[in-house]
Chains A and B, each alone.
Chain A
Amino acid sequence: MTVRLDGEVIHLEGDCHVEDAEVLLRRLQEAPGRGVDLSQCRRMHAALAQVLLSFRTPILAAPQDSFLRDRLLPNFQRSSLPGEGPMSSKQDPSGALAGSSTQTGVLG
C-alpha cells in the first residue's frame, strides 16, 4: 500500500506510481487540511507531486531520498504557506482567513 491514511495523516510509502495520484487526491478531498508524511517515500511520480503542490498540502515529514528531500521538497514548502490554498478558498467561501482574523463576541 503506497497511500495509507493514519488518523489525519496521509503516508506515502515506497514507490508511488502515477495511479496513486487519484487515491492521494481523494484522501485530500475527503478532509482538507490533512498533512502528508513522506518519510517512507522512495520515489514519487510527478502526478503526486502535482497534487501536493496544487493543494498546498502541508508536508509533515521529509523523505529520505536526496532528490526528493533536497530538490523537490523545498518546492512544497514554498507553496504550503497557509491561508491561500485553492482548497481552503474552495471550502470556505468567506475566505480561509476567518480562522486567523479577529473574532469578537460576548459569551454567555
Chain B
Amino acid sequence: MALRYDPPPEAYFRGEDPLAIVAAIPGLIHLEVAADAPADAVSYDPFRCALKIAAVAQASLAEVKTATRLVADQVELAVVDAGPAVEPVGLQLRTLRVDAANLDAVAALVNELVIAKNALTHETRRLSAELEALGHGRRKQARALVDREAAIERVVADLHGAVTRLRLAPLGHLFSRFPRQVREIADGLGKPVDFQVSGEDVALDKEVLEGLFEPILHLVRNAVDHGLEDPEGRRAARKPQRGSLAIAARSAGATVTIDVADDGRGLDIEAIRAKAVARGVLGPDAAKGQSDIAVADLVFAPGFSTAERVSELSGRGVGMDAVRAAVGRLGGTVSLHNRPGAGLTVRLTLPAQVLMTRVLVVDARGQRFAVPLAEIEAIHRVRSVDVTAVREGRAYVRDAQVIPLLRLSEMLGDASRPDDDVFPVLKVAAGAEAVGVQVDAIGDRIEAPMRPLGGIMTAYPGVLGTILQGDGRVLLVLDVAELAA
C-alpha cells in the first residue's frame, strides 16, 4: 500500500501526532516526511503543522485503514504491487545507478573549472587594479568586473559542492570487510575477540573510503596483537575472557570520526617515555617534562613502535606513523585516547567530503609554498630583537606563551641568512605543542582542490600534495606540523 498523508495546519492543536499514526502502520517499509520551508525563520511557529507525509507499507488495505482511521479524511491510499523492490509511482523514490568512472570524470571537470576560475580571479584582480588606476570613470567598470567574477565564483563553489555530494558512499561497504579480517587475526593469535561495528550509514567520499581500508586494518591488527591481552593476561587483569574491539563511525557536521577502540592494556606511557630517551627522540629532562598526552603522541613518530618485540603480524615496517600519514593524505587526522590498563581508542577524524583546501601562500628563500589555513592557528609579526636564544634553538613570547621558532627554509634543508627586522611567523600546532614557523613573506590565500602526490612522491615527508595556482604555477602544500616535528 502506498499512502499520502497531509495533516492540516491545526493537527498538533487537535492533539494529533502524525508521526505516531504513521509509526503504527504495520509493515512500513518506506517513509518520506517533508516540511515546508519556513517563510521566515524568526516568526516560525513550531505548533503549526507543515508536514507532508508519504509512505509505503507491506500491509493490506484494511490494516492501513485501521491504523489511519482517526485521520481518514487526510489520507489518500493507493494499492501498489507488494514487494519491497517496487518503487511506487508518484512517491519520488528516484535513484539512478551511475558508473563511478562517469562520476569521476565529472568531478575532474569540476576541479578543472575551479582552477580555471581561480585563474580568472587572478586576472580579474589584476585588471580591476589597472582600471582603478586609470581613474574615476573606470572605477565602475572595475567594480562590475569584480561583481561578475564573484557571481561565477559562487556558482562554481555550488557546483563543486553538489558534485562532491554525489560521490558520497556509506561506510558499511568498507566495514563489512573487517569481521573476517578480525576473526582471522584473532584466531591466528589465539585471542577470542568480540568485534562490533556501528555507524555503517555514515557517508564519506568514496575515494576517502577506499583509502581507509589499509590504515584501519593496521589499527585493527595493532589492537588485537598488541592491545588485547592473551587469555591469561585478561584473567590476571580481571577482564572478561573475550577481548572487545569496536569500530564506530559518527558524523559530526563537516567531519566524520571513526573510532577503533579496544579494551586491552592501553599504551604504557612510561615504556614509551623510556624508549624515546633510549632512542634519543627525547632528552631525559625533556622526557620528564612532557605530558602523558604528548608522550603517547610519540607512537606516531616515524619508526617508533611500542611493542617490545616485532611480531609477525603488525611488525611489517609500517607503524602508527604510516597510519597518520595515510589518514593525513586523505585530509584527516589521528588522535589517541589512552586508558592505561583499560584500553586504547584511536580516532580518525576525516572530512565528510573532499573539500577545497584553503591555503596560505608563503615565501621562503625566494620559493613559494602553500600551507593549509586549517593548520595555522595565528600569524604573528615578530621583531628579530624580540627573539631569544633558548639552548640551541630560538623562541619568542606571545600572549604569555613561549613559542619555539623555526625557519621554514631550514626545515626544508636550506641554509639560513640574516633575518629581516620584522618577519611573519605562522603559529602551528605540532603534536601537543605550538611552534612558530618563520617565513620571509606572506602572500595570497587561495582555495583549490588539493591533488595528492602520486608515485614515488607519496613517501615524501612533509608534503601533503600540490595545488595549482591561478597563474598556472604548481605549489607544494606543506605539512608544517610534520616538518616541525
Contact = CB atoms under 8 A, between A and B. Distances in A.
B445 A105 contact: yes
B161 interface: yes
Contact of A102 (B40, B118, B165): B118
B133 to A, nearest CB: 17
A106 interface: yes
A50 B379 contact: no
B35 A54 contact: yes
A75 B253 CA distance: 16
Contacts of B442: 106-108
Nearest to A24: B46
Contact of A71 (B30, B34, B117, B153): B30
Contacts of B253: 35, 58, 60
Contacts of B445: 103-105, 107
Nearest to A76: B33
Interface string A42-63: 0111110111011100111110
A21 B158 contact: no
Contact of A50 (B20, B32, B46, B158): B46
B154 interface: yes
Query: Which of B20, B37, B51 lies at the interface centre, i.e. has the most chain A CB atoms within 10 A of its CB?
Result: B37
Nearest to B160: A100
A81 B203 CA distance: 12
A60 B252 contact: yes
Given A46-B49, A54-B37, A100 B161 contact: yes
A54 B444 contact: no
A106 B121 CA distance: 13
A49 B33 CA distance: 9
A24 B47 CA distance: 12
Contact of A83 (B36, B41, B153, B161): B161
A44 to B, nearest CB: 7
Given A18-B17, A60-B251, A75 B158 contact: no
B360 interface: yes
Contacts of B47: 18, 21-22, 47
Contacts, number: 134
Nearest to B381: A108
Contact size class for A? 35 or more
Contact size class for B? 35 or more
A72 interface: yes
A64 B365 CA distance: 57
B12 A18 contact: yes
Interface string B99-115: 00000000000000000
Contact of A46 (B20, B41, B161, B447): B20
Contacts of A67: 23, 28
B227 to A, nearest CB: 25
Given A22-B46, A58-B253, A82 B161 contact: yes
B443 interface: yes
Contacts of A71: 22-23, 28, 30-31
B314 to A, nearest CB: 32
A97 B153 CA distance: 10
Interface in B404-463: 424, 442-447
A81 B168 CA distance: 12
A54 B38 contact: yes
A46 B41 CA distance: 18
Interface string B31-70: 1111111101110101101110000000000000000000
5 contacts: A46-B17, A67-B23, A101-B157, A102-B121, A106-B443
